[in-house]
Amino acid sequence: MARESYELYYSQNGRWQLHASYEANEREKAVEDAKGIEAKEGFPTRVVRETFNDETNTSEEIVTWQSAKAKNMNDADTMFGESKAKGSKLDKKKRPPPAAPRQEQRSEPKSEPAKAKPRPAKKAPPKPKGKKKRSGIVRFILAVIISAALSLVSGITSALVVFQMVSLRMLPQRDYTQLVIGAAVLVFFLALFINLQRQFNIMAFLRGSGEKKKAQIADASQMMAATKKKAAPVQDIEFDQVEIEDLRAKVEADEAAEAADEAEAEVAAELQELDADMGGEAYVSQPVEDAPPPAPEPPPQVQQAQPPKAEVKAPEPKPEPKPEPKPAPARKAAPEKSPAEVEARGSFDKFISDAARNAKPEPTNAFSKFGMNLYFAGGASVIGQSKKLPKDAQLSVLKDGLVAAGNTAERAENFCVELPTYGKNPRYTVMVQAGAKAMTQHMKGDGGATTPISALLAEWNLPEKRPTVPSVFTFVFTDIVGSTAMTQRLGNAGAQKAVRAHNTAVRGALQAHKGREVKHTGDGIMAVFPDPVSAVQATIRMQREVAAHNNANPTIEVMIRVGVNVGEAVEEDNDFFGAAVQMTARICDKATKGNIWVSSAVMDACKGQRIGFIPRGKFEMKGIQGSKALYEVGWSDAHKNELADQ
């Protein structure tokens, strides 16, 4: 049975992030919320329909609505990953390349060897005698004739039955011609379908066409990698008290090594079979310099797919005893798991099974499944630390457990790669800590440790509520001036270096002055500070470090402008909302290239701190009532001269 739901996504920093989930009958509400987010925040939005199939335990995601900005992005088929754009549920494992011809692997002998007597080609087994298969048209005509005959017989039979029932007064006197004809037509089409199925297997053809069509639709099994919220370094949580390495690179390296081993084993097996048929010695690949000296009669070279040339045959050597063929190189065995890891896997599998049984109703939408994965991650952290497993083993236990819980291998791998980012989101941390607590009780023998999972998932799916009482914060917005022109001038690589210089300067200043990064806006960073003085001191350091970078790298120059404001705002999901935030962004837009502009409230809060401010007049700002006085922070030698003239 298929179940549907809707997810609302928004694009930020080039990545699609999940905002909320909706039931199957709430599509219009999802579209309205998507329009509201784009109108308020300016983010491109899309509404995705997810169809979950209980029988195959798979899901399919299709974009059903997208905003004007999202349409211009042209990535509707690839928003969940490249492999899904191709329509495959899972990437097929690559087969090793075909073995090279044998003569290319052997070293050439110095002397011209005698030509070996070519082996006679094996005759193909004779085809069984039988009736010649009829053509498709003939079979179709035959099916129509048989169906027509059956229809005629059924029509005559129906007419006789109706006539008899009328004679016996079992049916009223009326004209039943249309009923008889309808029954005959129905029998005709039913018989025709059965005959076509027997002759052409049309059901298999229709199933194949349906599967091919489904394969062309972008699948979203990797959706978990795109469900990240607006990540901000609020608080770090260490899942396994180790850093997560690039799991993708390790998995690809292991697969490449395994494919190479399989290819080598297949080549050796084919050569052994070929040598055994020819009465020769089995060949084992080894370096030329280590090969034994050639025998008086070198082994013949076999050329594939070429007819033997008529040449003078050399005298055949005397038969010699056949040496025993050397065994093919054994495939490298997978590293054995330690007893501690085996025990951890067993306990973790039992934990996942109990949680899945207690999760009622069963999670069907992507957001609920993501919450379950966070819950399992907390459990894997506890069991891994208790067994003192290395970080690779802990990640392996978690990944295999997620696959056992119904995730695809690719989705489980992406989840493990993004695990450190999830730890910075307070809402995600709640699910992780709940899983860790449940695993602790489970290890103590508590059979009901996972019972609260249903209530936990119900709360997880509720929309978050904003705090009713706002607090006072100091906000800073930075912006790279002329980022589009800079990209055209420096190219993608050069522009990326300039953006990296901006990020380094801003984040270093945040760390030095107790600032916190809220989000990266693409061309700048939004940050929050506990007080205006710390914010202004941090922005001065930002500009000076950017100036030092420009002096050292004149060809990769980057110019930024900064806006600072203080006021009340509400915090939700690592983001801030309120008029003070909007005014800070407007002040940053008004600031000139390479300068820091602040509001009058920031200037008043910094009095007595040996910081110079230059008045720049009053400005009208979009969405802000009345004109506001703005001031420029003096941080360079040019500002010192201007301050002295005041």
Phi-psi category of residue 539: left, alpha or beta, with phi > 0 → left and psi -120 to 50 → alpha = alpha
User: What per-residue confidence (pLDDT) applies to 645?
Assistant: 63
C-alpha 279/C-alpha 28 separation (Å) is: 76
Per-position DSSP letters for 107-134, written without gaps between them: PPPSSPPPPPPPPPPPPPPPPPP-PPPP
User: What per-residue confidence (pLDDT) applies to 504?
Assistant: 93
Output the pTM of the full model.
0.34
Look at residue 461 and give its three-state secondary structure: coil
User: What per-residue confidence (pLDDT) applies to 16?
Assistant: 83
Query: For residue 480, what is the DSSP state?
Result: E
Query: Is the pLDDT higher at 462 or at 223?
Result: 462
Structure tokens at 619: 């400005």
Cβ(187)–Cβ(157) under 8 Å? Answer: no
User: What per-residue confidence (pLDDT) applies to 480?
Assistant: 92
How far lies 33's CA from each of 38, 41, 72, in Å? 9, 12, 20
Q: How many CB atoms lie within 10 A of CB 15?
A: 13
Cβ(275)–Cβ(450) under 8 Å? Answer: no
Per DSSP, the chain holds a count of helices (H) and strands (E) of 20, 12
User: What per-residue confidence (pLDDT) applies to 430?
Assistant: 85
User: What per-residue confidence (pLDDT) applies to 587?
Assistant: 94
Mean pLDDT of the chain: 75
User: What per-residue confidence (pLDDT) applies to 473?
Assistant: 93
Output the CA angle 41-66-56, nearest 5 degrees.
120
pLDDT in tens, 281-339: 433 434 434 444 444 444 444 444 444 444 444 445 555 555 555 555 455 455 677 88
Output the CA angle 120-123-124, nearest 5 degrees.
150
Structure tokens at 292: 């034994």
Cβ(495)–Cβ(507) under 8 Å? Answer: no
Pick the most confident of 7-21, 82-96, 454-468, 471-485.
Answer: 471-485
Res. 98 pLDDT band, cuts 50 70 90: very low
CA atoms within 13 A on the CB side of 636: 12
pLDDT of 127 strictly over 50: no
Res. 94 pLDDT band, cuts 50 70 90: very low
Give me the residues paired with residue 516 across strands. Answer: 528
User: What per-residue confidence (pLDDT) applies to 526?
Assistant: 95
Q: How many CB atoms lie within 10 A of CB 568?
A: 13
Backbone angles phi, psi at 596, to 5 degrees: -120, 120
How far from each other are the two terminal CA atoms of the chain, in whole angstroms?
Answer: 77
User: What per-residue confidence (pLDDT) applies to 324?
Assistant: 54
User: What per-residue confidence (pLDDT) applies to 370?
Assistant: 86
Say which residues have a Cβ less than 8 Å from residue 306's Cβ, sequence separation at least 6: none
Look at residue 67 and give its three-state secondary structure: coil
pLDDT in tens, 518-552: 998 888 999 999 999 999 999 999 999 999 999 99
How far lies 332's CA from each of 258, 262, 336, 393, 464, in Å? 8, 9, 11, 19, 51
Give me the residues paired with residue 12 across strands. Answer: 15
Cβ(571)–Cβ(464) under 8 Å? Answer: no
pLDDT of 477 strictly over 80: yes
Backbone angles phi, psi at 579, to 5 degrees: -65, -30
Res. 226 pLDDT band, cuts 50 70 90: very low
User: What per-residue confidence (pLDDT) applies to 207?
Assistant: 67
Q: What is the mean pLDDT of residues 59-65?
A: 85
Q: Which helix (H) or strand (E) holds 158?
A: helix 136-167
Domains of the chain, residue spans:
2-85, 136-212, 226-285+339-462, 471-644
- Could you write out the three-class secondary structure of 259-297? HHHHHHHHHHHHHHHHHHHHCCCCCCCCCHHHCCCCCCC
pLDDT in tens, 560-610: 999 999 999 988 878 898 899 999 999 999 998 899 999 999 999 998 888
Q: Does domain 471-644 sit in CATH 3.20.20.140?
A: no
Res. 151 pLDDT band, cuts 50 70 90: confident
pLDDT in tens, 346-405: 888 988 988 888 887 777 777 788 888 898 998 898 888 888 888 888 888 898 999 988
pLDDT of 513 strictly over 90: yes
Best CA proximity match to 113, nearest among 268, 294, 249: 294
C-alpha 135/C-alpha 115 separation (Å) is: 49
C-alpha 493/C-alpha 369 separation (Å) is: 38
User: What per-residue confidence (pLDDT) applies to 256?
Assistant: 65
pLDDT of 171 strictly over 60: yes
Q: How many CB atoms lie within 10 A of CB 510?
A: 23
Query: Is the pLDDT higher at 632 or at 81?
Result: 632
**Is the peptide bond between 120 and the residue preceding it cis, with omega within 30 degrees of 0?**
no
Res. 556 pLDDT band, cuts 50 70 90: confident
- For β-strands 575-577 and 596-599, DSSP reports them as unpaired
User: Percent of the chain at pLDDT above 90?
Assistant: 18
Best CA proximity match to 377, nearest among 241, 239, 247, 248: 239
Q: What is the mean pLDDT of residues 435-462?
A: 85
pLDDT of 424 strictly over 80: no
pLDDT of 276 strictly over 80: no
Q: What is the mean pLDDT of residues 484-492?
A: 86
pLDDT in tens, 182-222: 888 998 998 888 888 877 777 766 765 555 555 555 444 44
Q: How many CB atoms lie within 10 A of CB 227?
A: 23
C-alpha 61/C-alpha 86 separation (Å) is: 14
User: What per-residue confidence (pLDDT) applies to 252?
Assistant: 61
pLDDT in tens, 129-145: 444 446 678 888 888 89
C-alpha 577/C-alpha 568 separation (Å) is: 9
Query: Is the pLDDT higher at 626 or at 257?
Result: 626
- For β-strands 45-53 and 2-12, DSSP reports them as antiparallel
User: Percent of the chain at pLDDT above 70?
Assistant: 69
pLDDT of 169 strictly over 90: no
Task: Indicate the burial class of 234 (C-beta count within 10 angstroms; 0-12, 13-18, 19 or more).
Answer: middle
Query: Is the pLDDT higher at 17 or at 231?
Result: 17
User: What per-residue confidence (pLDDT) applies to 545?
Assistant: 94
Query: Is the pLDDT higher at 118 or at 510?
Result: 510
User: What per-residue confidence (pLDDT) applies to 247?
Assistant: 46
C-alpha 342/C-alpha 232 separation (Å) is: 36
Look at residue 10 and give its three-state secondary structure: strand
Say which residues have a Cβ less than 8 Å from residue 426's Cβ, sequence separation at least 6: 234, 235, 573, 574
C-alpha 517/C-alpha 507 separation (Å) is: 8
